[in-house]
Amino acid sequence: MVPADVVPADVVPADVVPADVTRQAAGAVQYSADTTCSPYTSDERIRSMTIKHVGVVGAGLMGSGIAQTIAQAGYDVVLMEVNQELLDRGLARVHGAWRMLAGKGKVTEAQAKEYGGRIRGTLNLQEFGDRDLVIEAIIENMDEKKKLFSALDAILPAEALLVSNTSSLPIIEMASVTGRQERVAGLHFFNPAPVMKLVEIVRTIATSEATITTLRDFSTSLGKTPIIAKDTAGFVVNFLLIPYMLAAVRMYENGLATKEDIDTGMKLGCGYPMGPFELLDYVGLDTTLYAAEAIYKEYPDPAYAPPTLLRRMVQAGRYGKKNGKGFYVGVEQ
């Protein structure tokens, strides 16, 4: 079984044809009605809401990829960053992806132009005041996420949904600083977001069924396959994937095999398209460390304890492909 976060090394993250280029927001997502609910309940008000306008906070590799995917599916998207340089870089990544698709004949020039017309950038959180759904995709730091969720809660319409793209952190802790806990959930995309088909929808102890149903419909409208996970550290995929990558680091750290042989063994012996060290560089050593720490905090099993080598590499600023320094990238072979 190939881990869901694994993609072939030659995949270009932006080089993906929209799952249904004819969808074009034809369907803004409508919450499904439930006639068994009282018309006076908050759940019913959620069900009657239509998603048309989406906000994404964070224009890094994940945030920009998520924004690209959503705009391609026909939604109006606002992408936010903390400074102009990061925002410009994220928007350039998105528009560059569409130019690449058009250049390869995967979409027409007209389609690429149409996609571009659906996304704009901002440095002002107040511009999210008309959003139906906001996806947080910032650094994996709980304090920062809680500050953002609290600020968004004061700005968003009362019926809007607020979700996090975190890969491991507890969603209910973010929801606790808002007044809309039933409308908060996890919506975890996989890297690269335009390519990977899986989305984990994370249900907290407070998330309403209406919210889950809407996020499932929204994910499907993006051409993704959603699965539902409880709000436990690592959710589904990382709970299985993280110990696999940590075990590989321990093997290398203890001199049991070279990283090249470990990667070759997993690719040729298990049929994985990438070995664990190639995957670590691709996913991010820092991201892997944060996820491991979050899972280990909740499940103090040695399998989830980050190896010393991984910590030292992150401390040295070796994050993988994202900054050109990792187990392979930026290392003389």
- Residue spans per domain, the chain: 29-230, 238-315
Quote the crossing angle between the two packed helices 259-270 and 276-283, to the nearest 10°.
Answer: 100
Give the other-Cβ count within 10 Å of 10's Cβ: 7
Which phi-psi region, left, alpha or beta, contains residue 271 (left: φ > 0; alpha: ψ -120 to 50)? Answer: left
Could you tell me the two tokens for 279?
Answer: 């995957």
Catalytic choice (64, 165, 167, 221): 167
How far is Cα 330 from Cα 277, in angstroms, rounded to an integer?
14
Catalytic choice (64, 182, 188, 221): 188
Which helix or strand (DSSP H or E) is residue 248 part of?
helix 237-253
The pair phi, psi for residue 138, each rounded to 5°, is -100, -170
Q: Which of 145, 137, 139 is nearest to 170 (CA)?
A: 145
Is 168 a residue of the active site? Answer: no
Is 167 a residue of the active site? Answer: yes
In tens digits, the chain (333 residues) has pLDDT values of: 334 344 433 333 444 445 444 344 444 665 443 433 333 344 444 454 689 999 999 999 999 999 999 999 999 999 999 999 999 999 999 999 999 999 999 999 999 999 999 999 999 999 999 999 999 999 989 999 999 999 999 999 999 999 999 998 999 999 999 999 999 999 999 989 999 999 999 999 999 999 999 999 999 999 999 999 999 999 999 999 999 999 999 999 999 999 999 999 999 999 999 999 999 999 899 999 999 999 999 999 999 999 999 999 999 999 999 899 999 977 543
How far is Cα 230 from Cα 200, in angstroms, rounded to an integer?
10
Is 95 a residue of the active site? Answer: no
Q: Which of 21, 131, 152, 24 is nearest to 78 (CA)?
A: 131
Catalytic choice (200, 208, 219, 221): 200
Is 191 a residue of the active site? Answer: no
Catalytic choice (182, 191, 238, 278): 238
In terms of CATH architecture, what is 238-315?
Orthogonal Bundle (1.10)
Which helix or strand (DSSP H or E) is residue 203 part of?
strand 198-203
Count of residues for the chain? Answer: 333
29-230 topology per CATH? Rossmann fold (3.40.50)
